[in-house]
């Protein structure tokens, strides 16, 4: 029986992630936890979250999770969702500047307060909330069974700058192009919420459960 640890650091509706994983993998052992031993013993780890990156990093410090997170990021299939993507980068503009985990090179930036859609000049609201297309620019096992330009559900005011292309697995346009999915070795992380993205999101979670962490 595969075991899945979903990191609980007190931010976001993590129960919805649990229910989605249990739906696609009914035989898996799914734990919502901030216990270091549970994270180490799990076969795979999911780092979800919604809210402010400053609070996220502070919560990781509060629960002494930095060390075990780095271990998991090096050793087993790892999925980041929303804040779980942003936290992997070097730094974020949020909170006047927040140092993140530094696993992937790059910066998390705030959407401009006034943006327009280039095709029709429509004013775009911040946060970016709702359905948007994801362009797959890197083949990956987690994209299996998911169409190119599939739509996923987003909720965020900050985005990962699209600069370091080697780790970018997918992009989305919302006034500007940003990193919607990143991948490196055993790590895959997304800005959107697969647990809220209906069939395509459930397919991505199912692919993660079946992924051995190798490309």
193 is catalytic: yes
C-alpha atoms less than 13 angstroms from C-alpha of 82 in its C-beta half-sphere = 27
CB 28 within 8 A of CB 209: yes
Of these residues, 18, 82, 94, 150, which one is catalytic?
82
195 is catalytic: yes
Of these residues, 34, 128, 156, 193, which one is catalytic?
193
Burial status of residue 118 (CB atoms within 10 A of its CB: 0-12, 13-18, 19 or more): exposed
DSSP structure class, residue 141: G
CA 149 to chain centre: 18
Of these residues, 34, 56, 128, 195, which one is catalytic?
195
Burial status of residue 105 (CB atoms within 10 A of its CB: 0-12, 13-18, 19 or more): exposed
CA distance 123 to 30: 41
Active site residues: 82, 193, 195
């Amino acid at each position: 029986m595969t075991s899945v640890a979903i990191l609980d650091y007190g931010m976001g509706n993590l129960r919805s992630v649990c229910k989605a994983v249990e739906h696609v993998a009914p035989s898996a052992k799914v734990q919502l936890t901030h216990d270091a031993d549970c994270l180490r013993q799990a076969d795979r780890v999911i780092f979800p979250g919604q809210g402010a990156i400053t609070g996220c990093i502070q919560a990781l410090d509060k629960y002494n999770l930095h060390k075990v997170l780095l271990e998991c990021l090096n050793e087993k299939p790892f999925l980041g969702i929303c804040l779980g993507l942003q936290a992997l980068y070097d730094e974020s503009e949020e909170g006047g500047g927040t140092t993140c985990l530094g696993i992937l090179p790059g910066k998390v930036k705030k959407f401009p307060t006034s943006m327009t859609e280039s095709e029709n000049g429509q004013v775009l609201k911040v946060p970016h909330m709702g359905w948007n297309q994801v362009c797959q620019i890197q083949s990956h096992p987690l994209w299996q069974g998911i169409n190119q330009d599939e739509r996923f559900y987003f909720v965020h005011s900050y985005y990962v700058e699209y600069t370091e292309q080697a780790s970018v697995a997918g992009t989305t346009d919302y006034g500007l192009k940003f990193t919607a999915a990143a991948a490196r070795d055993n790590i895959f992380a997304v800005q959107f919420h697969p647990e809220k993205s209906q069939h395509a999101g459930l397919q991505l979670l199912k692919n993660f459960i079946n992924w051995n962490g190798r490309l």
